[in-house]
């Protein structure tokens, strides 16, 4: 079915047409009732007039008395007719107002639907352009990594060649370092640009998070930062690799911004009846209020030498997985990132 057919036979349009038909039938019914009422009252008048004439003839009433009685009867009946007619006119007026209001609502709804459909199409076009641009940029970044590898290899050969003077070898080592930095940035960009289709499966969340934390214990110990965990035993439905990457990125990001003797806490707790949430809280430098609304955008960072893409990757993965993500931060006191709406499929480490 075409898009135009969908608009033409949408549910609101069909309902409106049915209501209009019902109101039209109701109006026709009121008109028929009005006509029938007039006929009935006229018939009643004729019948009662004949009865009055017969009664007057039997009692030998004067013509003036008979005429007066007939006039009173006519007055009462026509007053009754007028009341019914007024009531029917009121019903018709109400019906017309309802019809006019319904026509207005249908017209207004149609305009809003057209505007909404136009906005959806524009948004689809924009997303398509962004996706194409992202693919092109990702392809360019991928192709750029190959010559960078060649440059690094040549620089390493020069740095390892003892026949070269120390100044030349030092320059070669600098080239290697800058090449590594550029390659890392390209890798981060590729990770951000890549679209992933999640493969959800039952995951023992406590075991998974404990494993991730254990992988980073040495890094935290070397930095003099404590890593604490507070985890409940639940089985969640998630893509294990995507979950691991998100939590790893959040923990390493907190480590970078937490000073020595600081604390980073990884917690897992219930959220509503069927969901869980993961929190990563630190006692680090916090995020300035000026850039806090922008932290999930690429290349937004306050850290010198940072790429500003770690949280952007986390946000993109969360969106692809269907999770919610929020951040709270007070400059000088710390930051908390909450990953929520993670479906729970079991308790105590056992799937339901």
Q: Are 347 and 329 in contact (CB under 8 A)?
A: no
Note the pLDDT of residue 277: 96
CA distance 298 to 255: 20
Across 86-95, 104-113, 136-145, the highest mean pLDDT is recorded for 104-113
Q: What is the mean pLDDT of residues 307-324?
A: 84
Domain ranges of the chain: 1-195, 201-351
Over the stretch 222-264, which tens digit does the pLDDT of each residue have? 999 999 999 999 999 999 989 998 999 899 999 988 999 999 9
Note the pLDDT of residue 130: 63
Q: Are 320 and 238 in contact (CB under 8 A)?
A: no
269 contacts: CB under 8 Å, gap ≥ 6: 230, 232, 276, 277, 279
CA 90 to chain centre: 46
Over the stretch 178-187, which tens digit does the pLDDT of each residue have? 888 777 777 7
pTM higher than the cut 0.75: no
Q: Which contacts of 48-54 are long-range, i.e. CB under 8 A and separated by 24 or more positions?
A: 48/73, 48/77, 49/73
CATH of 201-351, one of 3.30.565.10, 3.90.950.10, 3.40.440.10, 2.40.30.170: 3.30.565.10
Q: What is the mean pLDDT of residues 120-133?
A: 74
Q: Are 66 and 109 in contact (CB under 8 A)?
A: no
Over the stretch 2-11, which tens digit does the pLDDT of each residue have? 444 444 445 5
Cα 94–Cα 100–Cα 106 angle in degrees, nearest 5 = 135
Note the pLDDT of residue 151: 87
């Amino acid at each position: 079915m075409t898009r135009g057919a969908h608009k033409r036979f949408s549910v609101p349009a069909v309902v409106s047409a049915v209501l209009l038909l019902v109101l039209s039938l109701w109006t026709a019914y009121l008109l028929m009732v009005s006509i029938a009422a007039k006929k009935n009252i006229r018939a009643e008048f004729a019948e009662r007039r004949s009865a009055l004439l017969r009664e007057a003839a039997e009692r030998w009433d004067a013509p003036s008395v008979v005429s007066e009685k007939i006039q009173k009867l006519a007055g009462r009946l026509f007053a009754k007719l007028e009341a019914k007619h007024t009531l029917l006119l009121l019903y018709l007026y109400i019906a017309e107002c309802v019809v006019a209001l319904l026509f207005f609502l249908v017209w207004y709804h149609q305009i809003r639907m057209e505007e909404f459909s136009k906005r959806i199409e524009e948004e689809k076009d924009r997303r398509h352009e962004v996706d194409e641009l992202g693919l092109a940029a990702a392809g360019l970044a991928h192709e750029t990594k190959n010559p960078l590898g060649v440059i690094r290899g040549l620089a390493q050969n020069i740095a390892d060649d003892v026949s070269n003077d120390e100044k030349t070898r030092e320059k070669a080592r600098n080239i290697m370092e800058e090449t590594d930095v550029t390659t890392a940035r390209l890798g981060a960009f590729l990770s951000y640009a890549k679209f992933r289709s999640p493969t959800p499966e039952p995951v023992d969340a406590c075991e998974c998070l404990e494993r991730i934390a254990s992988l980073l214990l040495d890094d935290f110990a070397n930095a003099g930062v404590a890593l604490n965990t507070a985890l409940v035993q639940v089985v969640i439905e998630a893509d294990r690799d995507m979950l691991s990457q998100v939590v790893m990125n959040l923990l390493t990001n907190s480590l970078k911004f937490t000073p020595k003797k600081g604390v980073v806490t990884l917690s897992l707790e219930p959220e509503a009846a069927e969901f869980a949430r993961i929190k990563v809280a630190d006692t680090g430098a916090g995020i300035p209020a000026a850039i806090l609304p922008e932290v999930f955008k690429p290349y937004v960072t306050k850290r010198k030498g940072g790429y500003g893409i770690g949280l952007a990757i986390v946000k993109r993965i969360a969106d692809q997985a269907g999770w919610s993500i929020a951040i709270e931060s007070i400059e000088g006191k710390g930051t908390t990132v909450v990953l929520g709406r993670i479906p729970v499929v079991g308790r105590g480490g056992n799937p339901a």
